[in-house]
Amino acid sequence: MAYKLEPKTNRQTSTGRYHPLGSTLYEDGVNFAIFSQYASEAFLLLFDRPDVGPTDIIKLEDRTKYIWHVFVHGLKAGQLYGYKIKGDFNPVYGMRFNENKFLIDPYAKAVTGKFKNIDNLLLAYDPISSLRDLSKDARDNTSVAPKSIVVDDHFDWQGDVPPDIPLHELIIYEVHLKGFTAHRSSGVKNPGTYLGFIEKIPYLKDLGVNAVEFLPLHEFYVEDFLLSKGLTNYWGYNTIGFFAPESSYSTKRFPGCQVDELKTLVRELHKAGMEIILDVVYNHTAEGNELGPTLCFKGIDNPTYYCLTGTPREPYRYYMNYTGCGNSLNLANPHVIRLVMDSLRYWVEVMHVDGFRFDLASVLGREEGLFHKSASFFDAISQDPVLNHVKLIAEPWDIGTYQVGNFPVDWSEWNGKFRDMIRRFGKGDGGQVRDLGWRLTGSADLYGEDGRSAYNSINFITCHDGFTLNDLVTYHDKHNEANLEDNRDGTNDNSSWNCGIEGKTDDINISNLRKQLIKNYVCYLLFSCGTPMTLGGDEFMRTQRGNNNAYCQDNEISWFQWDEVKKNSDIFNFFKKAIAFEKRCTILQRRKFFFGEDLDADHIPDFTWFGKDLGKPSWEDPELRTLCFQLDGGEERCELGDYHLFFILNADFNLQPTTLPQLAKGKQWYRVIDTSLKSGEDFLDADKEIPIDSPDHYLANPRSTVVLIGK
């Protein structure tokens, strides 16, 4: 049904204010403000229910600094609303106003749910016309579009204080909020929700992690092409509401309950001493390219929000696509920077989150198409008193540029070079040891000369995008058939090894080897200098059945199956002990780069490299697959006092006799870890370490990691 844009209301209205943007609740009503530089008219629509027509259509008569505004008296929290905007429709010059399209408020703090795809009503243009981006769609989508919700920001935080954990103590757990508890085996009361996640916080506490990095929790749009195949956008990297928590993760007790339920989750994580980091997508929106739907920004002010391009005859018809998702937000525009900054501040000040991981963050630093370390967006964050002290983590690439190591001093980065090198070394590739040296010691070649520390390197081996740790040692090739793209999607460059058999096996020798490699990877990750990030479920060998691009799999391929925790308790316990060991041996959380110098006058450098015979490593040897190093634990105060750690990383398929450094009189080497040994013997508890048989050498088994403590 089409709704004519003719004003109809009996409500009392007044001019209102142009600031703040969005809907702002007051005792006597609600102020509405929306930016549109090029609109000719703007209309506010009010609703009692999301599935029926508007009760009121209010024409906004006042505009200040390109912001249309009105105050509607008598409205309360929970009021449903949205906009229709009139203006020029001329895609050749970037204008895509269409008064038939109902639009979400860009500053909406909650929405009523997902768009409903009824008879293709959501499509912005005629799907059978080759010129549909030039044809104004007369179909009205008001009945199928979600409505924005007026939200009351008040909440009982119960004295919440952010943990404020320094980077060098942070252990990040990346996880999908729904997938964590969606499976029936989770046993929670509200599976797949914000509240359901709370019930599993004791599990994370027991594991030892202290920061949860959630995949996107902003309201997202599910693309039509996925729905048509019976799939969905599970990961959520398709934002349509930068202030709104994802509605499908709520209990749906009432419209907008997702706001309080997410706040409750944040509060309870903080009580448990854990920080919350949000994965945020400010590089593009859900509206796609010129053929995509008009949901919000396109219909409000297309040339302001997006980077446009074209031909001399059609200069602004198309969208710059640095993201691979159809469009790129125009962060060179002051209003778009304001939108993103307002959103970030809202999540810190109102929602109490502790930091952000920025998807495809290189896009945010592009100006005139090129990445700039001093881009306007980075400068805006660096001087902002709210944002310049929270965790800022970049995914430092996009589809056209790879900027690992090149972000400003306030930023940490996902270290893709760490991931790639550790995978290659771990499966036994030769010629890796020189790069391995940089990665194990905090990647000083990337972060050592720009005011940052080793802990600005977010070290990871697996993440949501790619194989799980179990699949990394179980599959040689990707198996994405369930995505219905003939296995063409997802990367072919996985640096994985199936240990001789593709997929699941009953061969006990291969199963044991896979577990041994997993334990090696755990040691590489947690005992390297830098901030470790582990993928949720790796601690109990979660599998995605070889799918390395499960973005559309909202099912058992992606969900945690909690009975696997008990089944693979040996790997869980190894993870848990490794995390505890890192915390106990504070030299593993050293804040500065190692110098290779004696800093405490005990005649032992803080860090020393060794070959297996105590000589210097043959860094250029393409066949070298074994590397050793020693840490002087006395450099960092802890309960262990004066101690030393010796590491043997043997990725070779042969036994490697290794000579040990001589300790001071009265001290002895003890075995803490040997990943080649069976569970129970592979990682010994504190004060139960076993003195080694020989004081001067150790036999490192093939494809193993050994950690000794000298005390």
**Alpha-carbon distances, residue 242 vs 231, 238, 246, 296, 329 (angstroms):** 24, 11, 10, 11, 12
Compute how many other C-beta atoms are within 10 angstroms of the C-beta atom of residue 13: 19
Q: Which residues of 457-488 are buried (b: 16+ CB within 10 A; e: fewer)?
A: bbbbbbbbbbbbbbbbbbbeebbbebbeeebe
| Residue 241 identity | G
Angle of helix 508-527 relative to helix 569-584, nearest 10 degrees?
20
In the three-class reduction of DSSP (H, G, I as helix; E, B as strand; rest coil), residue 659 is classed as: strand
Q: Which residues of 362-385 are buried (b: 16+ CB within 10 A; e: fewer)?
A: bbbbbeeeebeeebbbbebbeeee
Q: How far apart are CA 412 and CA 424, in angstroms?
A: 24
Q: How far apart are CA 572 and CA 555, in angstroms?
A: 23
Work out the burial of residue 400: count CB atoms within 10 Å of its CB; fewer than 13 is exposed, 13-18 middle, 19 or more buried.
Answer: middle
Q: Which helix (H) or strand (E) holds 177?
A: helix 177-181
Q: How far apart are CA 525 and CA 510, in angstroms?
A: 23
| Neighbouring residues of 295: CB distance < 8 A, sequence distance ≥ 6 | 101, 103, 104, 115, 122, 145, 221, 240, 286, 287
Q: Give me the torsion for CA of 585, 587, 591, 594, rounded to 10°.
A: -160
Q: How far apart are CA 689 and CA 705, in angstroms?
A: 16
Residue 530 has which token pair? 């830098």
In the three-class reduction of DSSP (H, G, I as helix; E, B as strand; rest coil), residue 697 is classed as: strand
Any idea how long the chain is? 711
Angle of helix 416-426 relative to helix 433-440, nearest 10 degrees?
130
Q: Which helix (H) or strand (E) holds 439?
A: helix 433-440
Q: How far apart are CA 98 and CA 112, in angstroms?
A: 22
395 is known as an active-site residue: yes
The residue annotated as part of the active site, out of 246, 359, 413, 606, is 359
| Neighbouring residues of 678: CB distance < 8 A, sequence distance ≥ 6 | none
| Neighbouring residues of 677: CB distance < 8 A, sequence distance ≥ 6 | none
Residue 149 has which token pair? 């919700």
The residue annotated as part of the active site, out of 105, 287, 395, 564, is 395
- Catalytic center residues: 359, 395
